C-alpha cells in the first residue's frame, strides 16, 4: 500500500485529494506547512510526496533542498498554479519527479502515481515500523545522528542493526563521506591489524601490495564494527589505542596516519558479562558506548509485522519478477501470530521463499514453513508438495537458483527441500 504525504495549506483541497487517494487503496497524511512536512518525513517513510509550491512558511523548493542535503529519495510531485511553471522547472532540477498544474486532475495524478509505482525510483531499502517501539527507536536515531558520538547498537540477530548504522551515517554531517562496515566475526586474528590499519607491501607473507585499512578508508566518515563482541583481546587493545589517539600505523610501516572517524558498533552479545569473564575490555566498552541504542525484537513490534511483510513482498516480487498481490487471511494471521526468533531477517527470508513458491495471486499457509503455520513435519510430508508439476517445478528451481545467486544450499532452503533432493532434480532437468 502506497503511503502519500500531502503538503497543502488549502484544507478543503487537501482533504478532497486525501479522500480520493484513500478510495484508490492508499494511505495519506496531510500537513499544511514546510516545518510540519520536515517533521513528518523525518518521522516515518512515505512512498510519495504531493507538495503545493507555495506554503505559509516557505516554498517547496526549500523542502527539496532540505531533502537533497539528507539524501532523502522519496519521489516528489509539485502542485503549482499556471503562473509558477518556471518554479516547477526549478523544482525538477532540484530532484522533484514531476509537477501538476492546479486544478489537479485525478486521472492524471493517478497515472503519475502508477508510473512511479512501476519504477524503482524512491524505493526504500528498508521499511520503518509504525509501532511505538519503532517510532521511539527512530526518534533516538534522529537525536544521535548529528551528535558525532560513538554509538553501540544492541539487539538480537536480525533486528536490522546494520541498516540503523547506515541510517545514522546518512543523517549525520558525515553523510557525504565514506561509510565502511566491518564484520568483526569474519576477521581472522592474525589479519586483524591489516584489516583495520592496513599494511605495506612485503610486511608479511602474502602482503603482495600496499593495503588501505578500514580506519583510513573511513576517514572523515563512519566506521561500522558489526559483532564487535567477537574481537580477540589483542585486537581490542589495538582498536582502543587507535580510537584514543586517532592515529593508526599500517603493519610494516613506521609512519602514523591521523584519522577522523565516527564509530558505530553493534553486538548481540552480553558485553557486561564478557567484561566480567575478562574477554572484553571495560575501557574499550566505554570508548565505543557513548550512547546505547537498543534494537527491539520483531515480536515487540507485532503490529508492524503485516507492514514489514508487505514491504518484503514488494521487494520479493521485484527480485523474482513475480506479481503476488498479498497474503490470504490465514497466512497473514500466521505471520502476525508467530514470534520470529530470527526477527526481520527471518521474516524477509520467509516472504522471499513464500513468494517463490506461491502458485496463485496470494501467498497461502501452504507456501509458509511449518514452524510458522503450526503444521508438523509429518503433516507437511503428507501434503502435496509445491514442486509437483514438472513444468512449474523446473521454473521454480531456476528462479530459486537465480534468487540465491547460484548457491545450491540457499536455493534448497528457498524451495523447502534438502540439498540431495535438489541435486537429483538438477540432474533430472539438466540444470547445471
Q: What is the pLDDT of residue 270?
A: 94
- Give yes or no for a contact between 102 and 79, defined as CB atoms under 8 angstroms apart: yes
Mean pLDDT, rounded, of the chain: 85
DSSP annotation string for 217-274: HTTTSEEEEETGGGS-HHHHHHHHHHHHHTEE--BT-S--EE---EEEEEESS-HHHH
pLDDT-based confidence at 385, cuts 50/70/90?
A: very low
Query: Do the domains spanning 3-118 and 300-429 agree at the CATH topology level?
Result: no
Report the 10 Å Cβ neighbour count for 281. 18
pLDDT-based confidence at 232, cuts 50/70/90?
A: very high
pLDDT-based confidence at 377, cuts 50/70/90?
A: very low
Residue 70 has pLDDT above 80, yes or no: no
Q: 11: buried, middle or exposed (CB in 10 Å: 19+, 13-18, 0-12)?
A: exposed
pLDDT-based confidence at 110, cuts 50/70/90?
A: confident
Sheet with 151-154, side-by-side order of all strands: 179-183, 222-226, 262-267, 151-154, 291-294
Q: What is the dihedral of CA 161, 167, 169, 175, to 10 degrees?
A: 160
DSSP code of 105? P
Residue spans per domain, the chain: 3-118, 132-294, 300-429
Q: What is the pLDDT of residue 281?
A: 96
Residue 264 has pLDDT above 50, yes or no: yes
Structural class in CATH, domain 3-118: alpha beta
Among the residue ranges 73-82, 147-156, 295-304, the one predicted with the least confidence is 73-82
Q: What is the pLDDT of residue 34?
A: 94
Residue 389 has pLDDT above 60, yes or no: no
Residue 392 has pLDDT above 70, yes or no: no
Q: What is the mean pLDDT of residues 138-152?
A: 90
pLDDT-based confidence at 400, cuts 50/70/90?
A: confident
Q: What is the mean pLDDT of residues 397-401?
A: 78
Please, what's the b/e burial string for 206-245 (b: 16 or more CB within 10 A of its CB; e: otherwise)? eeeeebebbbbbbbebbbbbbbbbbbeeebbebbbebbee
Residues 6+ apart with CB under 8 A from 292: 151, 152, 154
Q: What is the mean pLDDT of residues 254-276?
A: 95
Cell numbers for 417, please give them: 527441500
pLDDT-based confidence at 393, cuts 50/70/90?
A: confident
Of residues 276 and 118, which shows the higher confidence score? Answer: 276
pLDDT digits (tens, 9 = 90+) for 2-20: 789 999 998 888 988 898 8
Nearest in space to 365 (alpha carbons), one of 316, 328, 415: 328
Residue 338 has pLDDT above 90, yes or no: yes
Residue 346 has pLDDT above 90, yes or no: yes
Highest mean pLDDT (candidates 57-71, 193-207, 225-239): 225-239
Share of the chain above pLDDT 90, in %: 45
Nearest in space to 352 (alpha carbons), one of 322, 390, 377, 383: 322
pTM here is 0.62
pLDDT digits (tens, 9 = 90+) for 167-187: 899 888 888 888 999 999 888
pLDDT-based confidence at 384, cuts 50/70/90?
A: very low
Of residues 378 and 315, which shows the higher confidence score? Answer: 315
pLDDT-based confidence at 298, cuts 50/70/90?
A: very high
Going by CATH, does the domain composed of 300-429 fall within 1.10.357.10? no
Residues 6+ apart with CB under 8 A from 268: 154, 155, 156, 157, 227, 229
Q: What is the mean pLDDT of residues 85-95?
A: 73
pLDDT-based confidence at 82, cuts 50/70/90?
A: low
Residue 123 has pLDDT above 90, yes or no: no
Structural class in CATH, domain 132-294: alpha beta
Residues 6+ apart with CB under 8 A from 414: 352, 353, 356, 400, 403, 404
The dihedrals phi and psi of 163, each to the nearest 5 degrees, come to -60, -45
pLDDT-based confidence at 387, cuts 50/70/90?
A: low
Q: What is the mean pLDDT of residues 351-374?
A: 90
Q: What is the mean pLDDT of residues 426-431?
A: 81
Residue 122 has pLDDT above 70, yes or no: no
Among the residue ranges 50-59, 85-94, 188-197, the one predicted with the least confidence is 85-94
Q: State how beta strands 3-7 and 27-31 pair.
A: parallel
Residues 6+ apart with CB under 8 A from 116: 47, 48, 75, 97, 122
Q: What is the pLDDT of residue 51?
A: 93
Q: What is the pLDDT of residue 237?
A: 95
Amino acid at each position: 500500500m502506497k503511503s502519500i504525504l500531502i503538503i497543502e495549506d488549502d484544507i478543503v483541497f487537501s482533504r478532497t485529494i486525501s479522500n480520493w487517494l484513500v478510495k484508490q487503496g492508499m494511505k495519506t497524511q496531510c500537513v499544511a506547512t514546510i516545518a510540519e512536512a520536515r517533521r513528518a518525513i523525518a518521522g516515518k517513510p512515505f512512498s510519495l510526496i504531493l507538495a503545493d509550491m507555495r506554503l505559509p512558511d516557505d516554498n517547496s523548493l526549500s523542502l527539496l533542498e532540505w531533502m537533497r542535503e539528507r539524501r532523502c529519495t522519496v519521489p516528489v510531485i509539485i502542485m503549482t498554479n499556471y503562473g509558477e511553471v518556471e518554479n516547477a522547472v526549478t523544482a525538477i532540477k532540484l530532484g522533484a519527479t514531476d509537477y501538476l498544474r492546479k486544478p489537479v486532475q485525478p486521472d492524471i495524478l493517478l497515472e503519475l502515481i502508477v508510473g512511479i509505482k512501476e519504477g524503482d525510483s524512491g524505493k526504500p531499502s528498508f521499511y520503518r515500523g509504525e509501532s511505538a517501539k519503532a517510532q521511539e527507536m527512530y526518534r533516538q536515531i534522529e537525536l544521535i545522528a548529528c551528535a558525532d558520538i560513538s554509538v553501540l547498537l544492541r539487539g538480537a540477530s536480525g533486528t536490522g542493526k546494520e541498516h540503523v548504522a547506515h541510517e545514522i551515517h546518512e543523517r549525520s554531517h558525515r553523510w557525504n563521506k565514506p561509510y565502511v562496515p566491518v564484520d568483526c566475526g569474519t576477521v581472522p586474528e592474525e589479519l586483524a591489524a591489516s584489516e583495520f590499519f592496513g599494511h605495506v607491501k612485503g610486511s608479511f607473507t602474502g602482503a603482495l601490495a600496499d593495503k588501505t585499512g578500514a580506519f583510513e578508508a573511513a576517514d572523515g566518515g563512519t566506521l561500522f564494527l558489526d559483532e564487535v563482541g567477537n574481537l580477540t583481546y589483542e585486537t581490542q587493545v589495538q582498536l582502543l589505542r587507535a580510537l584514543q589517539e586517532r592515529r593508526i600505523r599500517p603493519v610494516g610501516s613506521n609512519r602514523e596516519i591521523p584519522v577522523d572517524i565516527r564509530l558505530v558498533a553493534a553486538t548481540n552479545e552480553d558485553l557486561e558479562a564478557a567484561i566480567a569473564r575478562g574477554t572484553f575490555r571495560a575501557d574499550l566498552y566505554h570508548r565505543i558506548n557513548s550512547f546505547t541504542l537498543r534494537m527491539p525484537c520483531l515480536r515487540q513490534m507485532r503490529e508492524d509485522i503485516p507492514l514489514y511483510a508487505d514491504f518484503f513482498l514488494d521487494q520479493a516480487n521485484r527480485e523474482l519478477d513475480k506479481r503476488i498481490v498479498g497474503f490470504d487471511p490465514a497466512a497473514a494471521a500466521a505471520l502476525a501470530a508467530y514470534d520470529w526468533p530470527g526477527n526481520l531477517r527471518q521474516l524477509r527470508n520467509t516472504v522471499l521463499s513464500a513468494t517463490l513458491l506461491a502458485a496463485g495471486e496470494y501467498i497461502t499457509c501452504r507456501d509458509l514453513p511449518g514452524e510458522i503455520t503450526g503444521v508438523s513435519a509429518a503433516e507437511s510430508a503428507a501434503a502435496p508438495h509445491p514442486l509437483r508439476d514438472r513444468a512449474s517445478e523446473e521454473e521454480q528451481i531456476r528462479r530459486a537458483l537465480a534468487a540465491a545467486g547460484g548457491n545450491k544450499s540457499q536455493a534448497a532452503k528457498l524451495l523447502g527441500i534438502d540439498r540431495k533432493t535438489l541435486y537429483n532434480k538438477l540432474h533430472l532437468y539438466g540444470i547445471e
